[in-house]
Amino acid sequence: MHFSDLGLAEEIVRAVTEHGYTTPTPIQAQAIPAVLSGGDLMAGAQTGTGKTAGFVLPILHRLSATSAKAAPGGRAPIRALILTPTRELTAQVEESVRTYGKHTRLSSMAMFGGVNINPQITRLKSRLDILVATPGRLLDHVNQRTLDLSHVEILVLDEADRMLDMGFIRDIRKILALLPRQRQNLLFSATFSDDIKALADGLLNQPALIEVARRNATADTIAQKVYDVDRDKKRQVLSHLIKTHQWFQVLVFTRTKHGANRLAEQLAKDDIPALAIHGNKSQSARTRALSEFKTGKLQVLVATDIAARGIDISELPHVVNYELPNVPEDYVHRIGRTGRAGAEGEAISLVCVDELDFLRGIERLIKRSLPRAVVPGFEPDPNAKPEPIQLRSAEHRGGRGQSRPPRAPGSPGGAKPAGKAGASRPPRSGNPDRPKARPGGEVSGGRPSGANHRSGGRGR
């Protein structure tokens, strides 16, 4: 099957082909016709399988095929709204819109906090067909009466599982109340938790259901291994593995922002080039770190879960869980940064006695036992006793600073929506969600053209 077989307009297929993509991935092959039909959709696939192109391409087709009805005042209305949880993902999705819509007359914009709002206000005064935004900054504009959502024809909730986990359900409800009742709703999620299904029940109308991977499964192309290690030897073990195996482009996850900073500094002292990326870093620092990591100038990028959302790096070879996440679903998201679109990847977890409950929760979720090993010379103390883990990171609490207690190891992910939620690169020869590498990085690290960038603000 080729993209030209899916019913997409010639100018959209041409843009995809110009970037070297011909064959859709399974999620694209199923989602594109479903979106073109005009009905609601609930779609799930592992990260890196091409979900973004699965909705961007048919949205471009549908909007190009019909004319916009003039909004009050004669201005062209916003016709499609794509909500994403993080600034990096917002930038990535909007870049895909521009990349695959370059032969159409449609215009788009990425909207997020952490940057001056005034350029965004100016951009909103011009024609805007597709708006990609984080919930917090979008509501800033709503409060300032700088945008009108009453003519939106298509709504997408992207990474819906992450938005729930970040506590955005209230913001989503506020946004839904501003949209017309008659619209197409698309919900995309890496995992289908019970909370996601509850959200879908309140949002979607007789949706088509697509799930191209087992629920909460990890890609078969990822080689997973656990190294048992003492808590105070983790940094030495990580440095040893990186140097011994000559790893480059290593994405390392910590639970907290402070831990990310400390580890990056320690690795640098071990002569391993490393930088940290998290919500407290300035946008310029985040952009620089991502850019250097993508181009191979930076050997190790240390990240927290939220900051890493939206990172899309072609053939990223190594992901290391320096600390296991307390939310099992986050393990799936983390290691999904490697082994994308058929490429092989390696996911290593350094596990101390304190994290054994977290490990058991992860293995229950993915329904498999992970192979265990020790690094010679770093054998853990068999008599070590577990100590409580302090989950201090604000990035694991709900949006806008509200506190949410950590879930017990192995418990289901996602915040419970209260009541009814009013609530969704083609690979090279298969994944349009992965653009070719560009100097200085792209998507999550680069600064998309066309105004105002970087989501974030208000904890986003």
Q: Which CATH number fits domain 222-401: 3.40.1180.10, 3.40.50.300, 1.10.1040.10, 3.20.20.80?
A: 3.40.50.300
Query: pLDDT band at 349, cuts 50/70/90?
Result: very high
Q: What percent of the chain shows pLDDT beyond 90?
A: 48
Q: Average pLDDT, stretch 33-45?
A: 92
Judged against a pLDDT cut of 80, whether residue 66 lies above it is answered with yes
Nearest to 115, CA basis, from 460, 456, 459, 423: 456
Highest mean pLDDT out of 269-278, 328-337, 395-404: 269-278
Check residues 425 and 184 and name the one with the higher pLDDT: 184
| Minimum mean pLDDT range among 4-13, 307-316, 446-455 | 446-455
Task: Quote the CATH superfamily of domain 3-211.
Answer: P-loop containing nucleotide triphosphate hydrolases (3.40.50.300)
Residue 23 clears pLDDT 60, i.e. is over it: yes
Give the residue extent of every domain in the chain: 3-211, 222-401
Cα separation, 161 vs 194, in Å, equals 10
- Average the pLDDT over 381-402 and give the result: 61
Taking phi first (over 0 means left), then psi (-120 to 50 degrees means alpha), and beta for anything else, what does residue 341 get? Answer: left
In angstroms, the Cα distances linking 307 to 6, 27, 87, 125, 350 are: 34, 25, 9, 31, 20
Residues of the chain with pLDDT > 70, as a percent, come to 77
From the list 233, 222, 263, 271, the residue with the least C-alpha distance to 350 is 233
Plot region of 64 (φ>0 → left; ψ -120 to 50 → alpha; else → beta):
alpha
Whole-number pLDDT of residue 135: 95
The DSSP result for 414-460, as a single string, is SPPPPS-------TTTT-TTSPPP-TT--TTTS--SSS-----TTT-
- Indicate the pLDDT class of residue 281, thresholds 50, 70 and 90: confident
In the structure, what pLDDT confidence band is assigned to residue 436 with cuts at 50, 70 and 90? Answer: very low
Instruction: Provide the pLDDT for residue 319.
Output: 92
| pLDDT score, position 435 | 42
